[in-house]
Copies of this chain bind each other. A is one copy, B any other.
Amino acid sequence: MPTPTAGARRRSDAERNIARIVSAAREALTANPEATIDDIAKAAGVGRMTLYGHFRNRAELVEAALTEALRVGEETLSAVDLTGDARDALARLLESSWRLVAESKALLAAAEGTLPAGRIRELHAAPAQRVEDLIRRGQADGVFRDDLPMNWLVGVVHYVVHGAAEELRAGRLRSKDVARTIVATAQSIVAVPTGR
C-alpha cells in the first residue's frame, strides 16, 4: 500500500482512485503480466502521474495487486466446506477456486520479475497449505495415495488447473467442460493407484 504510515487520513477521491488502480492492475496483469504502468493507469481511468502519486514504483503496484488477489482468493476458499469424504471435498475446493487459481498465474508471473522470490512464496503459502492439509487428511483416511512426494501432489494440482485454464484460453477446451475436467483429472492423480 502507498502510505504505510499509521495515521494516513486520505481524501475520499484518492481512496477511490487507489482502489481503482489496484483493481485495474489486477485485471491488466492477469491478462498480460507485462502490462505497462501506463496501460494500467489508462485502464483505471487515471493519469500515469496519479498512479505514481500512490505507488512509488512498479514493484509496489504489483505487490498490491497480488495481495488483493490473494485476499479475495482466501475469502472464497475459506468458505468452502472441506469436511466429509476428502475426494468430494477436493472436488468442491477445485470447483470454487479454479478460476481464481488460474487468474493468479499471470499475476504470479508478473510478480516473479519484480518481487523477491521469498515474498511471493510467503504470500501464497496459505492457499497451498489448505490443499496440503486436505491431501494429508485424504491420505490418513486411506483414499489418497502416499507414494509420491507431498510437494508434488500439491504442485501438480496447481499445474492441472493452470493447464486447463490455458487450454480454455486457447480454445481447445470448452468452457462448460473445464470444471469437470479439472476435477476428474485431479481426483485421478491423488487417488490410490490401482495395481493394474
Contacts and interface: CB of A to CB of B under 8 A. Distances in A.
Question: Which of A147, A156, A158, A162 has most B Cβ within 10 Å?
Answer: A156
A114 interface: no
Interface magnitude class on chain A? 20 to 34
Nearest to A184: B148
Interface in A118-158: 147-149, 151-152, 155-156, 158
A184 B149 contact: no
Contacts of A151: 167, 172-173
A100 interface: no
Contacts of A156: 160, 163, 185
Query: Chain A contact residues: over half helix, strand or loop, or mixed?
Result: helix
Contact of A155 (B147, B149, B167, B194): B167
A179 to B, nearest CB: 12
A170 to B, nearest CB: 9
A57 interface: no
Nearest to A192: B194
Contacts of A188: 188-189, 191, 193
Leading 10 A-B pairs by shortest Cβ distance: A159-B163, A151-B172, A159-B159, A188-B188, A188-B189, A155-B167, A194-B194, A152-B181, A156-B163, A188-B193
